[in-house]
Amino acid sequence: MKNPYEIIKNRRVTEKGRVLENLVNAKSNKSLSRCQSPKMVFDVDMKANKTQIADAIEEIYKDNKVKVVKVNTVIVGSKQRRVKGFLGETAAYKKAVVTLRPGDTIETQG
């Protein structure tokens, strides 16, 4: 197995990612209150598959005894950007939405 820190690059902290994390605490309507499994979003290696991602998350957060239930991956392609008149591209990346077992948590800072 590769180093888990080569597979999982970092946490992706965005507004949409925070909404997914906080769905567990949402009690505003019946459909949102059904979501009992916490979800986290990570930037991952482009060549990593779902089982490698799940194993890496469990290895990195083994102190919290985290169990991964499901992994969904998305490859976000590069976009053209113009900076000071020159055409360039943003980098493509792969992100993974990791669903944890109900009751499991990963400490978040901030």
For residue range 60-77, list pLDDT tens digits in order.
988 888 899 999 999 999
Asked whether the predicted pLDDT for residue 10 surpasses 50, the reply is: yes
Question: pTM to 2 decimals?
Answer: 0.82
CB atoms closer than 10 angstroms to residue 51: 10
Q: What digits encode the pLDDT tens for the residues 12-49? A: 999 888 888 877 777 676 666 667 788 899 999 999 99
Closest CA to 51 of 31, 69, 27: 69
Instruction: Tell me if 72 sits within 8 A of 97, measured CB to CB.
Output: yes
Q: In the chain, helix, strand, coil percent, each to 5?
A: 30, 30, 40
pLDDT in tens, 82-104: 989 999 999 999 999 999 888 77
